[in-house]
Every structure is written in C-alpha cells, then in structure tokens.
Structure 1
Amino acid sequence: MAHTKPAPGEEGFADRMLEAMKPVIDGLVATFGSNCEIVLHDYRRPEASVVAIAGSVTSRHVGGAMSEIGLDLLAQGDDAEYKLNYVTRTSDGRTIKSSTMLLRDGARVVGALCVNLDITELRMAVAAMTDLIGQNDPAPPTTLFSNDISDVITTVLAQEEERQGRPLAYNTRQSRQQVVRALDKRGVFRFPQAANLIAERLGVSRATVYADRTAVKQETAPPQVEG
C-alpha cells in the first residue's frame, strides 16, 4: 500500500515542509552572494528555532534562538503576517536589510524563512552621495541576533527601557505594570528564564513580577456574567 504525504493540518506536515526547505537556502545564498544569509526557523521551539542556515551575516548557528523580531511575530500567533524589507543594525554596527516570510501548517504559523542582506557597504556609498545632496536618513533600530534566547529577552528589556527614557528599576508600581504588560504582549513570558531577567532589570523579586503580571491580566480579563 502506497504511503501518502501528510496534507496541511495533518501530523507530520510541518516537519516535512521544513525539511523540504533546507536544500533551498543554499541555492538562495549562492544566488545572492557572500553578503546574504538565509535562516530557516521552527517557531515551535523558539529557544532553538534555527533549524538550518546558509551564509554568515548574523553569526548564528543551527540550534540558535530567534531574534526579538521573531519573538514579536510569534506573540501575534496565527494572525501574524510577513514582515518584508525592514532595516536594522547589528550590535557591531552593520546594517542589515531583512525579510521574514512565515511558514504555515494550514492556518497555524509554525516557522519562518528569513533573508538577511548585509548592506553596510552599500549604505556607506549612499551616505557619501547623500552628503553631496544634503539628505540624511535616520539610523535604523538595532536588532540583536544571538544563539541564546536570554540575550534576546535582555534586548527586549533594553528596548522597553529606552522607550521609558530611564532605568526600569526606578519605575513606580503603575509604571512597572505597564512594562510587564508590554513584555507580556511581546511574548517574553513564554520563556522560563524571563521572570528572573525581568526581576533583575526592574530591581524587584520574581514573586513581584508574577504578581504584577497577574494584576495586568486581571485588568484585561472579560467581566464575569452571572447566570
């Protein structure tokens, strides 16, 4: 009896899809050259989402973690959409142009194919030309690419601190809960190590972080209807 391949939504489909994508990424890097990196992510295991990688722009390896951009997409669940042609900077100052194309098993988001192009040298050439014509573009935001999800969580915390304009440890209880709400929305709490990292950054105990999160969730919970 012939074995049929699983269809979308059936057990094993996501694994087959990701496996089928692996040979493709080498061909894409060969086409775009040494300044290109293609990363294949399995969003079902965000702490080690990188299942295949070709090229070396972000210095990650198989078994590495997703970036905070992937974390944001993961937090959006199945409503997430492609994130195309966005520009960020690495921690060492290089400029990266990227696209993240989501992979779905039916309606469910299970992974992503990410294209990263190092356009640092191109931007330097553009800067020289724009200097002549008197135009300046704002610097793109910095994105941390790391193999360790703890580094990604720390980066998200730093971003929230930058938005606040002051160290998170000086926040009032109300401001602290606003931070916890923002972090929860970005999906940070799905990782076990998040509470310790957040507590350290806020200058409070882990129990306080969980209490703040409980309070935030109670604020947003729908009212109970008595029968």
Structure 2
Amino acid sequence: MSSTADAVFAALTPVVDGIAATFGRSCEVVLHDYRHQRHSVVAVAGSVTGREVGDAMSEIGLRVLAAGADARNEVGYLTRTPDGRMLKCTTLPLRDVDGTLIGALCVNIDISAINRAAGVLSDLLGLSTPPGDAPIATTNFSGDLDQVVDSLVGRAERAHAVPASALGRDQRSELVRSLHDAGVFALRGAPARVARRLGISRTALYNDLARLRGEGNPST
C-alpha cells in the first residue's frame, strides 16, 4: 500500500498549487496523508485557515477518517472559522489501489466578502434574507490535534454549562457519543487523551464506549 499511496500524494502535490492559483487568494487547498494522523498535512497552498505542512487534520478530517470505507465526497458545504469567517469547503477522500482510505484533498474558499456583498445588494434591491436559515457550524482548524479534540470537548461542556469533570454519567455518555460521532476515537491513542481531558479513568471511558456499541453504534 505504501508505494501506491506515495504515488497518489506525489501526483496530487502539484495539483494543490494549481487549484489555489486558479481561485486566487481567497482559496486554500490542503492535502492530507492519514497515515500520519498527528501531522497529516503534506501540502498546502493558500492561507485561509493558516495551516502549514506538518499540521494535524481538522474536525472535518476526523469525521472523514472515522468514516473509513464509507467516506464520500463532500462538496460545497459551509462552515465558519472561530473568528467568524464563512468558508465554502469541499473534501475529497483519497484511496489507494485497494480502496483503503489514505487521505483527503480539501478545498476551502473564504466567501465572507462575497457574503457581505450579497447582503448589501439584497438590501439595495429590497430583498429580505429568508427566515429560518439553519445555523452554520464552527470548525476548529488548529494545526494541533490535541487542540482539535479539546475544542470538541469544550463545545460539549458549553452545551451542558458545566466542566467535563462535573458531568453526571448520563451527561458524560452524551459527550462521549458526540466525540464518537465526530470521529475522535478513530485516532490512535485517543481514548487515553480523552479520559485525561474528562478526568476519568480509561476503564470508565471504555465502559461508556461499550455501552455505545451495545446500543448499535459502529465499533470504535
């Protein structure tokens, strides 16, 4: 697998620069090699999220990694950066000759300026924004995988309005489920890091994961 995977990344590396140059400074293209989870970025062009070669995958990458064989192209979805900018993103899973997931090619376009311009034009034309638009999730694009995991835990803490260490068992189970659904446990060594972050033993965390499997969740 190594030789075919290496060939895939060697072929796509120059494509990264070409795509970014085509769309200009509002575009960023990132090539991920999932064989190196904590340093998955092997090529990047543009600076929309500020990542560099050697950085880790984002929350989106965790979700793709966890999907494994079921990972599919995600084209033109919207997300927000922590500083409020809106991005239009495309994530394309990469596979070797045997169909094994080996990485992803990601395109991120900052559409904040376009969105603001559209709002001005809408006001000038007397058009109102359609009510009830679904909220757009915020994505942590930190280059540090521990920070990405910590961001996901922190989001769950804010949802419950208490620190993770103060959660009851049912609340903690909900948090573990959200981390599972986000793909955190697809990472090597994730249970130990998450257990430390939650202030519980690994045994307690494995029991929570076992209950999830018993409820019909995919194996972690």
TM-score (norm. length: structure 1): 0.81
Partner of 2:16: 25
3-state DSSP of counterpart to 1:103: strand
CA drift at 1:205: 4.3
Aligned match for 1:188, one of 169, 184, 188: 184
Q: Which moved more, 1:134-143 or 1:44-53?
A: 134-143
1:107 corresponds to: 99
Note if contact 1:150-1:194 (Cα within 8 Å) is conserved in structure 2: no
Which stretches in structure 1 are left out of the alignment for 5+ residues?
1-9, 222-227
Q: CA separation in 2, counterparts of 1:49 and 1:89?
A: 21
1:6-61: CA deviations, max 9, x gaps? xxxx5510111111111111111111111111101111222111000011111000
Aligned runs of 1:14-93 on 2, under 5 Å? 14-93=5-84
C-alpha spacing 1:211/1:28, structure 2 compared with 1 (3 Å): same
Is contact 1:37–1:53 with CA below 8 Å preserved after alignment?
Answer: yes
The aligned runs of 1:121-200 (5 Å cut-off) are 121-131=113-123, 132-136=126-130, 137-162=133-158, 164-167=159-162, 168-189=164-185, 190-192=187-189, 195-200=192-197
Between 1:101-110 and 1:141-150, the stretch displaced more is: 101-110
2:191–2:205 CA contact under 8 A, matched in 1: no
Distance verdict in 2 for CA 1:31–1:88, change over 3 Å: same
- State the secondary structure of the residue aligned to 1:112: strand
The 1-side partners of 2:208 and 2:83 are apart by 35
What secondary structure is seen at the aligned counterpart in 2 of 1:129? helix
SS of 2:69's partner is helix
Contact 1:196 1:206 in 2 (8 A): no
- Residues matched between the structures, number: 210
TM-score (norm 2): 0.84
Report how far residue 83 of structure 1 moved: 0.9
CA RMSD in angstroms, aligned pairs only? 2.4
Give distance in 2, aligned partners of 1:86 and 1:206. 35
Structure 1 CA distance for aligned equivalents of residues 111 and 33 of structure 2: 26
Look up the equivalent residue of 1:181 and give its one-letter code: R
